[in-house]
A and B are shown apart, each in its own frame.
Chain A
């Protein structure tokens, strides 16, 4: 293993309790422990988080190589999944 080959880690930070971990960026580190330490120094110097996850970038499976392809098309024509699709008579409340 050489520093040239240090794996890439994706970093997720929980900003505060009650919120989900959110992707904040990536960094290289020789192992998971160093990745967490480096992530603390790089991404939470101003108390931006209470919890950090690091995930090897190579372990992520993504939907498709092109983010603009037809994979998400099936949802495109199903407007009735949104409440705004429905007509509500004048004066009806709490619906």
Chain B
């Protein structure tokens, strides 16, 4: 249900009773009183997450017409359709905080709200679709699984649905790469190049290092985030390195080495200047992604208008007022 009614007695950001609820692993529901900062953080995070789901349809959507077989095409269509659904779950979760999906989309289109920078990279070959599923969806899943225990109920519930659906996304990407990697020399090479392109951007999906991430600590205090950026990134690397071996592909990091003492894979330094450059609009495809999104929204205007007119006509007929 909608949580539009502004709360009269909004607790302070560090309200002891609210923090006690969080410490108790309690859940916050839309109509509960909550600190303004908590509400704003959630709106920003959920909106950005929703925008990422629908912008993320573009790099893969561009390959639906070029998928190498009917099987691959059906799978890719199902995946891209899932991402649209994820966007809807998340916009609905954001709306329980008193914002309007239409306004969130307006803000995306005006460049006032962001989406994940990963979708500003191009997909020049079919192998890139494999790399997106394996690495990008893989990193997204690593981020999203802890969000199923997020302190805000509607966000957590949306993440449960999303995580269930995500499980095939990563597998289908892995399968694409595995097939290419064990195909001809050219196919193997294509798979390797795609992995080389997507590895570092995928690691950057977890966000800046912990000491550079000012919002992180607050989100963790409020139970929105359960693990830090660096913890999640390490978890992803540890899971992915053995999978790369199974694929017969290498990861483009000469510093990658197993650390017996910690039980973790050590990886090289991440060039975050690239991430910030892409966030600031200088990625390979920022302008194209936004233009495509705005264009799709504008081209869909007549469909929304027609649905309105149809609903209005039927409402007036069943009210017995039709001419």
> In the bound complex, do residue B307 and residue A30 qualify as a contact, i.e. CB atoms below 8 Å apart?
yes
Size class of the contact patch on chain A: 20 to 34
Q: Mark A24-55, 1 if CB is under 8 A from B, else 0.
A: 11111111011000000110011000000000
> In the bound complex, do residue A3 and residue B102 qualify as a contact, i.e. CB atoms below 8 Å apart?
yes
B-side residues, CB < 8 A to A, are 1-2, 5, 29, 31-33, 78, 81-82, 85, 88-89, 92, 95, 100-102, 157-158, 161, 165, 304-305, 307-308, 310-312, 314-315
| Bound complex: CA A3 to CA B297 (Å) | 12
From B1, B32, B157, B311, give the contact of A60 (CB < 8 A). Answer: B1
Cβ of B89: which chain A residues have Cβ within 8 Å of it? 25, 42
| Bound complex: CA A67 to CA B5 (Å) | 14
- Chain A nearest CB, measured from B56 CB (Å): 17
> In the bound complex, do residue B82 and residue A45 qualify as a contact, i.e. CB atoms below 8 Å apart?
yes
Tell me whether A30 and B31 are in contact in the complex, defined as CB-CB below 8 angstroms, given that A42-B88, A45-B82 are known contacts: no
Q: Which single residue of chain A is at the shortest CB-CB distance from B9?
A: A66
- Chain B nearest CB, measured from A59 CB (Å): 11
Given contacts A3-B308, A67-B31, 20 further A-B contacts (CB under 8 A): A1-B308, A2-B308, A3-B304, A3-B305, A3-B307, A4-B102, A6-B308, A8-B2, A24-B161, A25-B92, A25-B161, A30-B310, A30-B311, A31-B310, A34-B311, A42-B89, A45-B78, A57-B1, A66-B32, A68-B32
User: Can you give 5 contacting A-B residue pairs, CB < 8 Å?
Assistant: A25-B161, A26-B1, A34-B307, A66-B32, A67-B32
- Chain B nearest CB, measured from A53 CB (Å): 15
| Bound complex: CA A45 to CA B74 (Å) | 14
